[in-house]
Every structure is written in structure tokens, then in C-alpha cells.
Structure 1
Amino acid sequence: MPNLNEDYPAADATLASTQPEVSAEEKPKAEPRPALSMFDAIAVIVGVVVGAGIFRTPSLVAANVESGTMFLTTWVLGGLVSLIGALCYAELTTTFPHAGGDYHFLTRAFGKRLAFLFAWARMSVIQTGSIALLSFIIGDYMAQIYSIGELSSVIYAGLVVVLLTTINIVGVSFGTGVQRFLIILEVLGILIVLGAAFLFTPDEAVAAGNAGTGNGTSMGLAMVFVLLTFGGWNEAAYISAELKSGRRGMATALIASIAVITLIYLLINLAYLHVLGLEGMAASDAIAADLVRVTLGDTGMVLIGIIVTLAALTSANATILTGARTNYALGRDFPVFSFLGQWNTKASSPVNAYVVQGVVSLALVGLALFTRNGFETMVEYTAPVFWFFLLLVGIALFVLRRKEPERPRPFKVPLYPVLPLIFCLTSGYLFYSSLMYTGLGALVGIGVLVVGVLVLLAIPRIQKQKEQAA
């Protein structure tokens, strides 16, 4: 393999802290600065994770377990596995804080080539696919509340991408302010669901619900759905360089967020189990809507639509906020994409990276014009690529322990190497499962990643042509 520094002679922003002092004329461009409070960080993490998934996946989990006790146990296990992953990320983010997040860790562990493929995947598959997926959820519910034609869902989804991208382009303070507002509304909505379940459920409904028993036998498949619902806490890596409380604060934010998320999920699933029972949950295609119908009647259907929309908006906004940071890091390392590596000091955000991310997300939303299963297609499109790179990040922790043993580590994973190994095995299992249980969308996502390989191979030639032209 050729020398990476010869192939890609970019100034490596990820190693800026080790560079000697330079003159004013040679100083690097504007970079991220600490602008986020602890509450902002927790709001972003919780907002990314607690999205519309908790209103969809519990019925799939219920269909694959045998009892209510096993059902609740899967969610506790999901919280524990996520906590193990968060502890691994706490070491990485406190040791190597950077707006590039996973991209930065992969660069230091494996070099720029692999890191480029990750950044490409984030820009074209993982993050943009997640944004499109969440926008479809919002579009579907908005179309039920007020239809504007056959393409209502697609139009609403596109408007969501444009609106939230614009909000974050205005500046990190505005974007996180919107995130705080949305997370408060989301929590209020969840409290309404819990109140309806435990305060307004008819006695006969509780008796009927508790009588049900599950028929499922696939605990492994149930855990796949649970861990998919917990997915997204790793987005904290992309704001690690912007936290006011410093490196150690990121570990606190991650652990606190996982605790909050696990508690929320347990309470919501207790409510489902209390009202619908295991069989009722397993038979439901819209579990939250069925809960509200039993407790509040048909008048509650609009309410649940609003709650699910708020949850999806919260996740979409947080996903947009963190997603552009990888594009920014890509632009700093590869001159071909240098326009992405420009940081707007006034807005304290990577404006160009937001614009590109928004355009790609809109293109993926446009795929709904060719398929009637926008949500399902985006799940298949993103899952295998996401879990593949999450596995590599877990491996990177081992590599960086060996490559940079003298690096100060404000936080170390307890019980090393056992916990990081569990994290890697879990990610590997979910990568395998996402390939086995998905269809054409997964192949398209992998195909886009292959295109990234071709772009990577073409970069040296493109750079050489630019140098000759200059």
C-alpha cells in the first residue's frame, strides 16, 4: 500500500494538537470551539436514540419472546449492551476529542483510506439514510393529519429535511436550542402516553391484556430489534470537541444518557404490556396507536400522531446536527472535498457540510417516487453499513491502546479487554443479522459504499491533475 501522506498531502486536522506553532499567515482555518452544555449533549444523545422506533419495534420484540418477563428483560439487556458501548466510546471521545468523531478514531487507528470510506458512507448512506428514514415517518403521520395529494408523505419529508437543515445552518446555538425544545416536548408526549396507560385504562382492558402470552421463540432476533431501537448514542462522538465541560464531561454525558434512555424505554414498554399484554402487542402494527385507542378512544389518535412526529423530529434534528461533522472532517483531510472542511465561526457550524448532507438526504427522500416502502427501504439501506463501521470503531479501541499507549486517557473502559470485546461481538452479530434479514435496500447501500472505493482510488489522479493545472 502506498504511503498515505504521499497520496493525500492534506493538513491533518486530527493531529493539530501535535503540530508546532505557526505564523499568523499559516494559522489553520476556523475550527470547532466549546459551545455545548452538558444538558445540550444529553439532549442530543437522547434525542437521536429516543425517536419513533420505540413506537414501532416493541411489537416485533413481543412477537419473538415467550413471556412478559422475557420481554422486559430484553430491554434491560439492550440498556446494558448500550452502556458497554458507551463506556468504549467514553474512552475514545475523552482521549481523542474531535468534531470528526468516528472518522477521527478510524483515521488514527487504520489510516485515511479506511476513514475516507467511513466518511463517504456517513455522507451517502448512514447519516443521510437515517435523516430520510425519520423524515418519512414524519411525512407519513403528517399525511394522515392533512393530506396534500398522492405524494403527501414525500413532500412533507422533503420539507422536514430543508427546514431542519436550515435551522442548523443558522448556528449551533439555534440548532441545540431547537433540540432542547423538541426533547422537552417529546418527554411531555411520553408522559402523556404513560399517564393514559396507567391512569385511564379500563379494568376489562387490563384483564384482557394480562391474559395474553407470547408465542415467539427467537430471543436473538428480539435483541436485534431492541438494539436497533437503542442505536444512535454513538453520535456523541461528533460533539466531543464542542463540550464546555471538557473531555471528562463527555463520559458523564454518555453514561447519563444511556441511563435516561433505558428508563424511558422500560416505562414505555411497561405501559404497552400493562394495556395490551404480550399477545396484543405482538399482533399490533401500530402499538402506540392501539394503546391510545384503548385508553383515550379515537380522539387520542391525533395526539399519538403528534407525539410520534415530535419524536421523529427530535431524532432528525440531532442526526442532522451530528452528521455534518463527519463531512467537515473529510474536507479537512482530503483537498478534493476541501469545500466541506470550512467552519463558519459566526454560526459555529460547518455550513457547506450541512448543505451537502441536506442535498443527499433529499435525493434519498426522492427514492420514494420509485418505491412504495420508503421507511423499510431506508432501514435496509443503512443497517449493514452502519453496523460494519461500528464494529471497526470497537476494534479501533484495541488498536489505539497498542499504537498510542502513552496518550493520556482521562477515562478508561473498566474491565478491559472484556467489555470492548463484548461490544465488538454485539456489533458483529448485528452486522450479520442486518445482511440476513434485509433485502434489496441493503445491496444498494453496499453498492454505494463500493462507489466510494472507486472514488478513493481516483483521488490521487484528480489531485495530480489539479496540481498540473495550477
Structure 2
Amino acid sequence: DYVFLSRTYGNGSGFLFGWAQFIAINPGNIGIMSYVFADYAISFLNACGYEIPAGWSVILASTSVCILICLNLLGLMVGKWAQNILTLAKVIGLAAIVVSGFYLGLQGAGDTILDPAVQASDAKPHFGLAMVFVLYAFGGWNDAAFVAAEVKEPGKNIPLALIAGTAGILVIYLLINFAYLWGLGYTGLLQASTPAAELLGNAWGNHGTRLISLIIMISSLGAINGLILTGSRVNVRLGMDHRFFAALAHWNRRVNAPIFSLLSQGVISIGMIVLVGTKAGRRLIDAPFTLIQSDFIRWEQYQDGFDTLLVATAPLFWTFFLLTGLSLILLRFKAPELERPFRVPLYPVTPILFCLTCLYMLYASLEYARGLALLGLIPVLIGVPLYWMSRRKP
């Protein structure tokens, strides 16, 4: 994305993409997954007999980020070792959900998958909003481009990797959601705040709740760790290209890790967790907008920290995705002499369809986020003067 945007629209657009990743998108993703950890940690502790209030989610989410930042500060090898262990939990957890859902479904435990009365009253609403959350589950497929230069026969293997990877995620996604619907029923799934815990609790009792909550806690830690590991390295490129952020490029050779990049990423992530997860944080966000409208951001329509952070950062994500898709077409005219070892299948139909999809997703995410979109947009706009400052000669 960084290279495509810089070559198409100029270095400023590449800088804003890197800045958006640093200040909003990646910390937002870390915050999203940390809230998943927190929700299931509360479910686990409650199943163990401890009464943990929902307000603890901010504390638990922030703590998970702190611990994993410290782990990565110990060095790359420790981070990779932890990532391999944590990834295994995802496989076990997914298998447990599918088996439990099918087990309950075969016993007829759940109600009908989609009750006709519910279908008539509730099922028409927000297709675009649903797709924002659905496509978040498929996020990361584009990361194959990061290693395209190291892939043998990219014209053959990159499409194969993208198709096989996306198809695999699609199968898993459908299996998991069918297991939820079959095991809990539509109504049960609609009311579940931690559906995996409730599904396994129904199937195997309190032991099932504790087991899957623990597995998802470990799995979400793996996701957070992966975001920290890769995000901090992306920030290094921002520091290398723009002297104003040179500290981000500082690499500690003793532990083989970008210390300042990791620390700044942790601080921003925890800041976002606290801002959207506490009343004081929300009041702080609301303060600049009170002159415009008293309820400029309608917090009550967002269910929890996961929902809030995803909705706040989605418009940014789809904006840059759209610009990157357009750059593929524009570069054909702007730089026709560039070597293109990878041929886009069905060009220009494929990128046009991609851009139209991104445009619709941008509209859908903005329609739901409304004022909350400023939580991601304003920090990115601050990057405009920072870019000009970074260009000034000393």
C-alpha cells in the first residue's frame, strides 16, 4: 500500500498511510482484539466462581497490551516463539466451537436457525453494517503482497495463495457461524455477548465455558501479539523515510527489536482502549463537539469496546483500500514503463469491481460510524502538518 500510494499520489499520501497505520488503524486493531481477550477473561473468571464486573474489561484489555509489549521488548525470537504457541490455540478453539455447535444442533438444543417472525421484523436492516463486521474477519488477505518479491513465480503463486487462503477462511467462517446458529439458535446467538463460551457451556457445562474462554483468551493474545510484532516493523519504515519520526526507526541490536516503535504503539493502543471504554474517556472525546451538538457521538448505539473501535477505524481502512485499488489503474497511465512481473487477472474488470466494493464499504462504515469516524480521522489529519514539518531541512 505504502509504495503504491507514494508512487501514484506522491510521497504525502504514502506518509499519511503510514501515519494512519501508526496513530489509528493498527492501535485500533490491537484495541479491538484486546477487548475480545477481556470479554472472555471475564467469562472465564465468572465461570470459575469469581464475580467480575463488566467494567473490568478496560483494565484487562490494557493489561494484555502491556504484557505483550513487554514480551516483544525482550526481542524478536521471544515474540516469534510466543506467536507459534498462541497460534495453536486458535486451531483448537475453532475445532471445539464447530464440534460443540454440531453436537447441540443434532440434539435439537437450539431454536430454528432463523425464526420467520424474527426474519420479518429484524432481518432487513443494515446489510452494509453487517459486511463491515464480516469483512473484518477476512482482513489480512492483502498482506501476501508484502512478500511478493520473495515468492517464486509470483504470477502463478500469488493468485494461488490469495484464492486458497481466502477460500480457507470462508469455509472456517461458515462452519463457525453455522455451528453458532445451530447450537444456540438465532435468538440465542443474538443475545450472546460471548457466544463461544455460551455455546460450549450449553454443550459441556461449566467446564466447557472455562475451556473455550481460556482458549479464546490465548488465541486473542496471539492476534494481539501478531499485530504488535508486524505493526512495530511497519512503523520502522515510517521512521526511516521521514526524519521527524526517526526515533521509530531506532533498532536495539541487543534485543533485536524497535524499542521506541513498540513503546509508542503500546501507549497509543492503551490510550484508545481507555478513551472508548471509560466514561471519562468518552467525555474527553465529546468535549470538543459539545458546541456543535450535545450528542454528536451517540455512544449508546455501540455495544462495547470491540464494536466501538472497529466502527471508528473502519472508514479509514476502506479509504486507503480504495485509494490503493485506484492506484493500480492510475499507475498504468502514470508509469507505463514499470516492470510488472505479476499480471492482474481480468484487468481492468477486477480492480474496478474491487474499487466499487471499497466505495460501498466506505459509505456503509461512515453511515454507521457518523461522528465516531472522527476518532480515527482527526489524528490522521494531524499528520498533514507533521508531513510538511518532516520535509523541512534542518
- Fold conserved between structures, TM > 0.5: yes
Deviation at 1:419, TM superposition (A): 1.1
1:196 to 81, 90, 100: 100
Relative to structure 1, the CA distance from residue 211 to residue 386 in structure 2 (aligned partners, 3 Å threshold; closer, same or farther) is closer
Equivalent pair of 2:43/2:194 in contact (CA under 8 Å): no
Deviation string, structure 1 residues 294-342 (Cα, Å, up to 9, x no partner): 3223442222322332332222122212212331111111111122223
Total equivalences in the alignment: 360
Task: Provide the rounded CA distance (Å) in 2 between the counterparts of 1:240 and 1:152.
Answer: 42
Question: How far apart, CA to CA, are the structure 1 residues paired with 2:183 and 2:273?
Answer: 35
Q: What is the aligned partner in structure 2 of residue 402 from structure 1?
A: 333
CA gap of 1:220–1:139, structure 2 versus 1, over 3 A, is closer
User: In the aligned structure 2, how far is the partner of 1:203 from the partner of 1:150?
Assistant: 32
Does residue 139 (structure 1) correspond to residue 70 (structure 2)? The answer is no
Please tell me whether residue 209 in structure 1 is matched to residue 115 in structure 2. no
Which one of the candidate residues 43, 63, 81 is aligned to 1:159? 63
The equivalent of 2:223 in structure 1 is 315
Give the equivalent residue in structure 2 for 1:109: 8
| Residue identity in the other structure for 1:292 | L
**Is the 8 Å Cα contact of residues 276 and 291 (structure 1) preserved in structure 2?**
yes
Aligned to 1:281: 189
The equivalent of 1:57 in structure 2 is none
2:381 is the counterpart of 1:450: yes
Q: CA 1:263–1:348 in structure 2 vs 1: closer, same or farther (change >3 Å)?
A: farther
Q: Which residue of 2 aligns with 1:424?
A: 355
Shift of 1:113: 0.7
1:405 Cα deviation (Å)? 3.2
Out of 169-178 and 388-397, give the one that drifted further: 169-178
1:333 corresponds to which of 241, 244, 247: 241
Q: Which residue of 1 aligns with 2:285?
A: none
1:296-307 equivalences under 5 Å are 296-307=204-215
Match of 1:126 among 18, 22, 25: 25
Letter of the 1:183 counterpart: T
Unpaired runs of 5+ in structure 1? 1-101
User: Per the alignment, do residues 396 and 167 of structure 1 end up closer, same or farther by CA in structure 2, a change over 3 Å counting?
Assistant: farther
- Unpaired runs of 5+ in structure 2? 283-303
The worse-fitting range, judged by mean Cα deviation, of 261-270 and 138-147 is 138-147
Does the 8 Å contact 1:342/1:350 carry over to 2? yes
Which residue of the other structure, out of 339, 342, 360, is the alignment partner of 2:250? 342
- Map Cα deviations across residues 41-96 of structure 1 (whole Å, 9 max, x no partner): xxxxxxxxxxxxxxxxxxxxxxxxxxxxxxxxxxxxxxxxxxxxxxxxxxxxxxxx
Matched letter for residue 174 of structure 1: V
In structure 1, distance between residues paired with 2:218 and 2:162: 23
Cα displacement (A) at 1:357: 1.3
User: Take 1:270 and 1:277, find their aligned partners in 2: how far apart are those partners?
Assistant: 10
Counterparts of 2:147 and 2:226, CA distance in 1:
11
Give me the whole-angstrom Cα distance separating, in 2, the residues matched to 1:252 and 1:388. 27
Aligned to 1:459: 390
Cα deviations by residue, 1:103-128 (Å, 9 ceiling, x for unpaired): 22211222111111111111111101
Specify the code of the residue in structure 2 equivalent to 1:432: Y
2:165 aligns with one of 245, 248, 257? 257
Whole-Å Cα distance in 2 between the matches of residues 245 and 317 of structure 1?
A: 29
Q: What is the 5 A alignment of 1:215-294? A: 215=120, 216-218=123-125, 219-238=127-146, 252-294=160-202
**Paired letter, 1:212:** D
CA RMSD of aligned residues (A): 2.9
Change in 2 beyond 3 A, CA 1:144/1:342: same
* Equivalent AA in structure 2 for residue 257 of structure 1: G
One-letter identity of the residue aligned with 1:166? C
Deviations 1:399-440 (A, max 9, x none): 233334343333222111111111111111111111111244
Please tell me whether the aligned partners of residues 125 and 381 of structure 1 are also in contact (alpha carbons under 8 angstroms).
no
Tell me by how many angstroms 1:347 deviates.
5.5
**What amino acid is aligned across from residue 423 of structure 1 in structure 2?**
F
Write the distance in 2 (CA, Å) between the matches of 1:403 and 1:217.
44
Contact 1:238 1:326 in 2 (8 A): no
Provide the C-alpha distance between the structure 2 equivalents of 1:350 and 1:203, rounded to a whole number of angstroms: 53
Is it true that 1:179 corresponds to 2:83 in the alignment?
A: yes
Does the CA-based 8 Å contact 2:189-2:195 persist in structure 1? yes
Change (3 A) 1:286 1:359: closer
How far apart are 1:246 and its partner, in Å? 8.8
Return the letter of the residue paired with 1:287: P
From 391, 395, 399, the counterpart of 2:322: 391
State the Cα distance separating 1:250 from its structure 2 match: 5.5
